Amino acid sequence: MQIIISNSSKEPIYEQITNQIKSSILAGDLCKGTALPSIRKLAKELQVSVITTKRAYEELEKEGFIYSIVGKGSFIAEQNLEMMREKKLKVIEEQLMAAITNSREMDLPFEELQQLLNILYEE
């Protein structure tokens, strides 16, 4: 499992951890039943405080990505990939909608918006 923490990022460290574990799950790098390192071990490896990794695991558990067994540790939960995809799509839809609203406010024509999207996507 690869996790890279940025100290200068505006995103809190625990969120960086949850997001990266989530993407590993979505990408299929972490499969159902895989054991995660213990909270304290991960904290040591990442050189962050224990409370940070603890919070990251708690968030992941709340969202159903992982489950914990007392005394054994935390494991990747079974994922409904289809549902997750749909959720993600919905988020993208919302974000695009916000971009469209903004464009309309300044009378940006659809072609130009499309062009912008093309350029950004290529990057």
For another protein, the binding residues (CB under 8 A) are 7, 10, 12, 14, 38, 40-41, 43-44, 47-52, 55
Q: Is the CB of 35 or the CB of 117 nearer to another protein?
A: 35
Tell me how far, at minimum, the Cβ of 112 lies from another protein, in Å.
Answer: 25
Taking the least distance from each CB to another protein, the nearer of 7 and 101 is 7
Nearest approach in angstroms of CB 47 to another protein is 6
Least distance to another protein from the beta carbon of 14, Å? 7
Residues 16, 6, 39, 60, Cα dihedral to 10°: 0
Q: What radius of gyration do the chain's Cα atoms show?
A: 18
Which residue in 61, 8, 63, 72 sits closest to 37, CA to CA?
72
The count of residues in the chain is 123
